[in-house]
Structure 1
Amino acid sequence: MGGFSLSNGFSEGSVLRYTCPEGYYPSVKSRQCKNGRWDPKPTRKTQCKMVTCPDPRGFENGDVSPYQQRYFVNNTTSYSCQSGYTFSGSVSRICQPNGKWSGGTPICGRNSDHCPDPGVPPGTTRSGNVFNFDDKVTYNCESKLTLIGSRERVCQKGGLWTGSEPECYADFTYDTPEEASDSLISSLKTNLQVSQQYKEIGGKLDIYIALDVSDSINENDFENAKGVISKLIEKISYYEVSPNYEILIFATDVTRIVSMRDFKIGQKDNLLQFLNKLGDYKYSSKGTGPGTNIAQVYWRIYESMLFEKIIDKKSFLQTQHIVILFSDGQANMGGNPKPKVDQIKDLVIQKDPSREEKLDLYVFGMGDDVNAEDINHLKTDRGNEKFFFKLRDLHDLKKTFDTMIDEGPRIKLCGLYKDYDDGSDSHKRRQYPWLAKISVDVGISLSF
């Protein structure tokens, strides 16, 4: 049923990866040739097992059917409430090939508390059943599942819960490109629109992009990832926005391809120059160190942010800050990166809850070996938005960004403009609050 691939034949260091058809996963993801032996040592035949979805039977104040021990791909569940409770979420859900349920978490709520019932997502257990101001609920995942999202949520004055709804991921669970794109697009769209408002004074959107090039990321994947980043930056530049960028490559050490300060001091108009710098960076330039120092990359980002604040505090406080990390999360040096991330949060948010939306920390985990539990602590938790994405491979990452910045109904910024000469030394843009697309059938010619 399954297959396998070798990164470098049967040579020392070669990685053997197992693959299975959609809806199945390998009992062992990979092995590496070390000292003439496969590690981990094969003790039994590798098999393709059926994907299951997290147990939905924790559903409270209602009934789930069918009620069975395990739920496999294409199994359908239906939900209903007991008398006196109001239903929200999806009435029926289907177990999908990526190990996640379709639709939204079904909830049977009382509508009598300050905050709505936050529900019990599949695979979780919840402690806390009172939802008034300052009450807390705490979630845990079943054995062998990893909690992604907020473990603890607090009911706020405005009737909203802090953090984001938790999800339980198995080792084989992943986000589809469509899920990642849909979750990312609304945040990106908002930030682009904010940047448009400040374009006359150089833009108020600072984007930091960090790419893992450690030994756990092979050279081919690294080259593909560079192309994805270039495409993302290039497509953002199509719109009437002026983001500022810092691009970092990290393994044992961190290399700045371009710093935020360099980008802002007169060189920002030459975006192509920086994209070429990224394209020219060689995989071999990372050195021979085997480490993955995620803590250091966040520390370098913190240094850049602190410098920007020292230079112009007013502008810093007006700026929207976005950090995007691409990694498998397999940090093995530099210590725990979470304290560095907390420093970034303190610098931007300054203990003011109203400033939380000024910082977006995204993490894209790529490949079979993503350390989802560690990565979960490096992202933003806010307003049921999703900031961590676990993707199968670079192909899915590319597809995510292709969809995210595609022309169509999802992006409704001004996408059409033309340059004209007004007699001065500079060119200006005429903007139109609409997007036009002309399709021509074969054999039909148009003249204007």
Structure 2
Amino acid sequence: MECKQCLKWLMLAMICPLIAGAPSSMSKRNISCPEENLTITGGSFVLSNNYSDGSLLRYICPNGYYPSIQSRLCQDEQWTPKPKIRKSAECKKVTCPSPRVFENGEVHPYQVKYYVNDTTRYSCNSDYTFRGSKVRVCQPNGKWSGSTPICGRDSDHCPDPGVPPGSSRAGNMFSIDDKVTYRCEKPLTLIGSKVRVCQDGGQWSGTEPQCYADFTYDTPEEASEAFSSSLKSNLAVSQQYEEEDQQGKKITMDQSGKLDIYIAVDASDSIDKKDFDNAKTTIKMLIDKISFYQVSPNYEILIFATDFVRINSMRNFKRNEDKEKLTSVLKDLDDYESKDDKTGTNIAKLYSAILESMIMERDSNATAFSETQHIVIVFTDGQANMGGNAKPKVDQIKHLVTKNDPNREKKLDLYVFGVGKDVNQDEINDLVSHKDQEKHFFKLPDLTKVQEMFDNMIGTVSIFHPK
């Protein structure tokens, strides 16, 4: 009996302090990470929440330099990746991919590495015709100015597709159905088409590849030019046009309303709250730029992290007869303040949600769906840590819209804006469209640069399609 009484008092002694809120070794402590060995040679760093758990440390380097480590995350009293005692992070000089892969000609000067502001000049051997830029300059974003220099012959069905800096090419036959395959030198990542095919019309399929380092970015100016050019060609299908009926009389065909645009923004743990608020502004800017075209698109807007939230669905947008329905959607976007505090990023689930909406549209009206231009625009750093590879879902979207018919490929455009200091560019390259003379993947260091890009689009859009 005495033992039972002792056990009872012992249990009470353990439980009562917890109920009363008294300090206990089991209660949650303020978790923080060490302040040592975090400096970066030649640069500085900023913290999102001091040295507290969940704080993100970002390194900053001067223009023309990049940090050897982009960032660290404070988790469970330690930084990830863990700082090294003997070797601190450092700001390294930005380099451009090696141009020495230039074929059938010469590049001057011949250097082991090419740094910012280094200039190269190109010339062809006899019997070869020069195309591209004869002079190129290494830029602070890690890319060469101008276009790929090429020395080719005019006797082939397709022109020589060239070998972009930092890459190698397998295939030197340029007749109909001939293929060329590209790969990038390590540790560079290939952005664009890995395989291109010579087509009947004398053009190469896909998009010219480029080799990106982790520190390589698009400038707002080049992203603006490429995106607006691609967008113009895709939104143009939704303009009014004239066609002759069976009696030869001209009638106006209105394609407006047959344009479905899906916009999604990453709100996961790797995205700062400031960047999330910026993303909402960016979406509104994008919609504003599209409004310069004489089209009336239908919209679905999604926020995603571990799961996804539809600010509005495509089905409800089309059902809403209110003339102010877009204004209502933008208000709902403004009112959405909750940034998912979960650490997961499930990009596959996002594309699954978009696929689900598209299937509903097809089942609702198969004819209208087949006539619709579908555009998907996603803002993310591509750092998925759950849900698996998103590519199979993207492939399902492609099959749903194009039905494996090359003539229907123009009906679908998949864009991704890779935003941030740590973009998973290899994964993102599999999630975008690869079309001739078009670019669908854009890499920018932050959303302010994306907004600057949209600002640059004002003139190019309004000139072609003023309201």
Do both share a fold (TM > 0.5)?
yes
Structure 1 counterpart of 2:450, from 392, 397, 419: 397
Q: Which moved more, 1:197-206 or 1:79-88?
A: 197-206
Q: Which amino acid aligns with 2:450?
A: L
User: How far has the Cα of 1:414 moved from its partner?
Assistant: 4.5
CA contact (8 A) 1:212 1:251 kept: yes
User: How far has the Cα of 1:315 moved from its partner?
Assistant: 1.5
> Residues 252-299 of structure 1, C-alpha deviation per residue, up to 9 Å, x if partnerless?
111111111111113462211100111111234x3x532111111111
Q: Structure 2: how far apart are the matches of 1:239 and 1:132?
A: 39
How many residues in Structure 1 have an aligned counterpart in Structure 2? 412
Is 1:299 the equivalent of 2:352?
A: yes
CA contact (8 A) 2:256 2:295 kept: no
SS at match of 1:385: coil
Structure 1 residues 316, 215: CA separation in 2 closer, same or farther (over 3 Å shift)?
Answer: same
Q: Structure 1: how far apart are the matches of 2:425 and 2:154?
A: 34
User: How far has the Cα of 1:394 moved from its partner?
Assistant: 1.1
Q: What is the match of residue 443 of structure 1?
A: none
Q: Which amino acid aligns with 1:234?
A: D
User: How far has the Cα of 1:209 moved from its partner?
Assistant: 0.4
Structure 2 counterpart of 1:335, from 360, 383, 388: 388
Q: What is the match of residue 193 of structure 1?
A: 236
Stretches of structure 1 that go unaligned for 5 or more consecutive residues are 417-448
SS at match of 2:155: coil
Structure 2 counterpart of 1:174, from 200, 217, 235: 217
User: How far has the Cα of 1:317 moved from its partner?
Assistant: 1.4
Q: Structure 2: how far apart are the matches of 1:413 and 1:17?
A: 41
Q: What is the match of residue 10 of structure 1?
A: 51
Structure 2 counterpart of 1:64, from 107, 114, 119: 107
Is 1:48 the equivalent of 2:91?
A: yes
Is 1:378 the equivalent of 2:409?
A: no
Is 1:415 the equivalent of 2:456?
A: no
Q: Structure 2: how far apart are the matches of 1:178 and 1:268?
A: 37
Q: What is the match of residue 162 of structure 1?
A: 205
Q: Structure 2: how far apart are the matches of 1:375 and 1:108?
A: 31
Q: What is the match of residue 335 of structure 2?
A: 280
Q: What is the match of residue 428 of structure 1?
A: none
Structure 1 counterpart of 2:266, from 200, 206, 212: 212
Structure 1 residues 267, 219: CA separation in 2 closer, same or farther (over 3 Å shift)?
Answer: farther
Q: Which amino acid aligns with 2:195?
A: E
CA contact (8 A) 2:289 2:454 kept: no
Is 1:34 the equivalent of 2:86?
A: no
Q: What's the TM-score, normalizing by structure 2?
A: 0.85
CA contact (8 A) 1:64 1:80 kept: yes
In the TM superposition, what are the counterparts of 1:316-355 in structure 2 within 5 Å?
316-355=369-408
Q: Structure 1: how far apart are the matches of 2:319 and 2:196?
A: 42
Q: Which amino acid aligns with 1:223?
A: D
Q: Structure 1: how far apart are the matches of 2:47 and 2:226?
A: 34
> Residues 289-328 of structure 1, C-alpha deviation per residue, up to 9 Å, x if partnerless?
3211111111111111121112222211111110001100
Is 1:225 the equivalent of 2:279?
A: yes
CA contact (8 A) 1:210 1:326 kept: yes
CA contact (8 A) 1:328 1:369 kept: yes
Q: Which amino acid aligns with 1:27?
A: S
Q: What is the match of residue 251 of structure 1?
A: 305
Aligned residues: CA RMSD: 1.6
Q: Structure 1: how far apart are the matches of 2:233 and 2:169?
A: 33
Q: Structure 2: how far apart are the matches of 1:123 and 1:181?
A: 24
Q: Structure 2: how far apart are the matches of 1:202 and 1:137?
A: 39
SS at match of 1:283: coil
SS at match of 2:429: helix
Runs of 4+ residues deviating >3 angstroms: 198-202
User: How far has the Cα of 1:395 moved from its partner?
Assistant: 0.9
User: How far has the Cα of 1:161 moved from its partner?
Assistant: 1.1
Q: What's the TM-score, normalizing by structure 1?
A: 0.89
Give the share of equivalent positions with the same residue, in percent. Answer: 62
User: How far has the Cα of 1:200 moved from its partner?
Assistant: 4.8
